[in-house]
Amino acid sequence: MQLTERAQSMSYTATARVWDATSTAASSQSTSTAAAVATSNASQATETQHAFNITSTADYAAVQAYATQQYAEAKQAELSVERLELTNKIRALVPWAMLITLFIAAIALGRNWSRFRVIHRDQYGDAPLLLNVVDSVAVDMDRNPSSTAGLQRQDLKQLPKFSSTTQEQVTARDQLLDMSSRSRSLTGDSAARKALARQITDSAFLSASINPELQVIDIQEARSLFMDVMPRIIEDAIEAEIIEEQEGDQL
């Protein structure tokens, strides 16, 4: 009886130990499985978070690039609009500016052109009279003692005053030239030419009371008059040569 109880007790003990071993193994397996699952889940979560971070970074970079592109396109469009507006303004103003410039240039050219007039002489070299219908004044430039005359220019006002003797000399010379010019028209009338020659001989130009007067002026005052004197001297010389050639041909 005791042996039987002892055997049963040992059987129970062995069974309990087997059970404990089985439980321990199961627990260990469960723990290992749980740890493995947890590690796997944690690894997956880490990889998922890393992938999410990468995706978020890529999305942010794409958004930034898109925003930059949109800003560049908007800025380019704004500059194009401003350039178009400026071009339209220039196109609108250029015709008016050109018209105003041409108008001013025409006024300037017309003013310069109207300031000067050529005194055309007749076939005998006599200058026509200039009549001022406003002041009722007649001017004979051939009787002018100076090559230049005027009232407004200050340099002309500084010219020396002419005496009555000087004016008489100029008048006498002009009369002689007039008579000499008229004598050319009397080529076929010898009697008229002789009478005219006698008139020249008896003219006041040969009077002893007429003495030429000379006055020295500063070169700076005379410089502005050279441009007026030289063209007239050259023109007179050319006309004299032409007249001499015509007389030579007639003879």
Q: Residue 243 to residues 192, 240, 251: CA-CA distances in angstroms?
A: 20, 5, 12
Name the band, by pLDDT with cuts 50, 70 and 90, for residue 208: very low
> Three-class SS string for 175-223?
HHHHHHHHHHCCCCCHHHHHHHHHHHHCCHHHCCCCCCCCCCCCHHHHH
pLDDT tens per residue, range 58-111: 666 676 777 787 888 888 888 888 888 888 888 888 888 899 999 999 998 888
Report how far residue 148's alpha carbon sits from residue 125's, in angstroms, rounded to the nearest whole number.
Answer: 18
Single-letter amino acid code for the residue at 251? L
Report how far residue 166's alpha carbon sits from residue 144's, in angstroms, rounded to the nearest whole number.
Answer: 10
**DSSP run (H or E) holding 201:** helix 190-201
* Contact present, 170 and 176 (Cβ < 8 Å): no
Report how far residue 104's alpha carbon sits from residue 97's, in angstroms, rounded to the nearest whole number.
Answer: 11
Give the pLDDT confidence score for residue 70 in this predicted structure.
80
Give the pLDDT confidence score for residue 100 in this predicted structure.
92
Q: What is the DSSP letter of 162?
A: P
Report how far residue 244's alpha carbon sits from residue 125's, in angstroms, rounded to the nearest whole number.
Answer: 13
Cα(first)–Cα(last) distance of the chain, in Å? 197
pLDDT tens per residue, range 21-63: 455 544 555 555 555 555 555 556 566 665 556 666 666 667 6
